[in-house]
Each structure stands twice: as C-alpha cells, then as structure tokens.
Amino acid sequence: MSPAPRVGLLWRSEWDPSTDTQTCKLRGMFAAFAALAVEAEPVVYTDDRVDRVRKQLLGLDGVLVWVNPIEQGRDRSRLDPLLREAADAGVFVSAHPDVIVKLGTKEVLVTTREMTWGTETRLYRTLADLGDRLPELLEDGRTIVLKRSRGMGGIGVWKVRRDEDGSSLLAQHAAVAGAPESLTLEELLERCEPYFDDGGFMVEQPFQPRLRDGMIRAYLTHDEVVGFTHQYPRALMPPGPDDRPTSKVFEPPSEPSYRRLRLLLETKWIPEMQAIVGLGRTSLPVIWDADFLYGPRTSSGDDTYVLCEINVSSTFAFPEFAMPRVAEAALERILSRT
C-alpha cells in the first residue's frame, strides 16, 4: 500500500503566527485533508526562513499557498522563486507563481476585456503614459478607477474624477476611509509613482455606478464554482452613513439567485479566459475567486456583471463547505503527478 502523500499548507507568519492545526486560520483545510486520511502539515514562511522552508517544501508531494501579494510592507519576491524551484522538482504547487502572473494581477482585466465580463480597460506601464492620458480620460465628467498591478485591501486603487469647476481632481483611495481628496494631476501622479517600481503597472477602468448594489464573489476550484458571497464594500462609496449589510454570508453554488452567473462562469467565461491566457483546467488553482460588480441592466431588466478582479494568491476567507472539494482536487492533482 502506497503511503499517503505529504501535503503542506503554506502561509506567512505575519498573517498567522500559529502552527496549531486545530486553531490556526486554515484549520478547516487541515480538517478537510484529515477526512481524506491525509495529515497535512503547516509550512509557516518568513523571508528570513527561506532555506528552512525550501528543505521542507522539497520533502512534500504538494503544497497549497496562502500568501498575500502585499503583507505589512512585504511582497512575494523571495517566496515566488522558492515555489518555482519546488514545482520544478516535482512538487504540486497551487497557485503556481506563473499562474498568478496570468490571473492574479490586474493585467487579466486587460487581456480579457473583449469578453462580455469586460469593460473598456487600458494598461499603463509607465507613469508618463498615465499622466499623458489622464486629462483626456476625465473629460465630460467621466469617473474612472485606477488599479495597481497587485495589491490587497484597496491599496493602490483610486476613484478619480474632475471637481465641479474642472480645476483639480477628486481622488478617493480605496484603502483609506473618508471623503475624496482634492489633488492636482501632479499630486495624484506622485501618489501613483511607487506602483510602477519593479515592473509594476496600473490599469484603468470606468467606474461602475451600481457599486452601492455590492459585489459578488464567486469561489472556484479549477473550473468549478464551489460557493458565492455577496459583499458590500465600503471603499470608493460616497462619504456619509451607509446602511448596507456588513456581514459576509457564504452561499452554496446551487443558490438560485446566482444561477445565471454560475452558468456564465462554468460554460462560457472560464473556457474563454483559459483560451486567452493559455491555461488548461488542471493548471487553474484548486482555490481562487473572481469578483464581479453589477454592470448596467439590460433592456429587459436583467443584471449584467463586470469583472472587478481575480484573486489567486491568497483566497481567504472562503466557504468552509467548499474546503472538502478543495482538498479533493488538490489530492487528485498530487496523485496524478506521482
């Protein structure tokens, strides 16, 4: 009888210092693997622990990774080469850093903009290009959203429009609560300059006026929807009282109110996206999510959906009822490689 595969769950100690599989943030995933007779092990990463983590990774058959692109000022510049090394040695890695490049940066909004989930979206690789285009983009009272290539918690996401007399810009940073700031074009560009460091870029999309209606997050395993949640982000909303729900309620993939969105994802959008970015089904992460804002209603009153972002580097929190399917999919992938 073959021994059970060795599986690791990797996270950054700054995100969760606990190594207790019964109490840590990922305890539900440890329980899901245990139900499959696999005793997953914690792999707690820090940038000063690379050699120790490398040794542990190379002794595994597979590793599932939860590490934010930005965490308390730290990035993944040391972790990603380590994960590539492990994958090259035969370890199953989800999400693989190369998959994150294709799906988990805001560039996916540009590469898939011709899909029916897309909008008029542009990419700017230099601050100068962004500065040249901004005055034109803000003509006729238009409101746009600028997004840095990678981020979390609204860091590097700006809602921008001209003020009423057109003399300055009103810029609202999604990571900071409060009213928009009045900035000159030069001041806004100064705020955005760090986002272009180390090959970074920004994308621009039209602001979606139905933001108050909230955002739908679809959780996926490979190309299969495994759950939903309807959230009401406070970022980029007008200042003042907000009576919308604050709680996050996970709902099953069978929830009738998401039937059309699930059908679009599984039968149309994910296959189209795979063809565009060049990823097969099993190259998609075992856990990822896609965020959708409401677009304009159709003439018959039906909702449309606009892709806001895709998260693949650290999909958390996610539905506990989906964790067994995530563990099963990971185990299937690991066993297919051994």
Read off the pLDDT of each residue in 265-285 and give the average, rounded to a whole number.
97
Q: What is the pLDDT of residue 238?
A: 85
Q: What is the pLDDT of residue 318?
A: 94
| Tens digits of residue pLDDT in 294-322 | 999 999 999 999 999 999 999 999 999 99
| Tens digits of residue pLDDT in 70-90 | 888 888 999 999 999 999 999
Whether this prediction's pTM lies above 0.85 is answered by yes
| Tens digits of residue pLDDT in 197-250 | 989 999 999 999 999 999 999 999 999 999 999 999 888 988 888 899 988 899
The angle formed by the CA atoms of residues 56, 58 and 61, to the nearest 5 degrees, is 100
Domain shared by 231 and 302, yes or no: yes
Q: What is the pLDDT of residue 252?
A: 98
Domain shared by 86 and 230, yes or no: no
| Tens digits of residue pLDDT in 88-120 | 999 999 999 999 999 999 999 999 999 999 999
Q: What is the mean pLDDT of the chain?
A: 94
Q: What is the pLDDT of residue 1?
A: 55
Domain shared by 180 and 218, yes or no: no
| Tens digits of residue pLDDT in 24-44 | 999 999 999 999 999 999 999
Domain shared by 221 and 311, yes or no: yes
Domain shared by 113 and 231, yes or no: yes
Q: What is the pLDDT of residue 222?
A: 98
Percent of the chain with pLDDT over 90: 87
Domain shared by 215 and 270, yes or no: yes
Assigned domain for 87 exists = yes
Read off the pLDDT of each residue in 114-130 and give the average, rounded to a whole number.
97
Domain shared by 296 and 158, yes or no: no
Domain that holds residue 46: 7-95+324-337
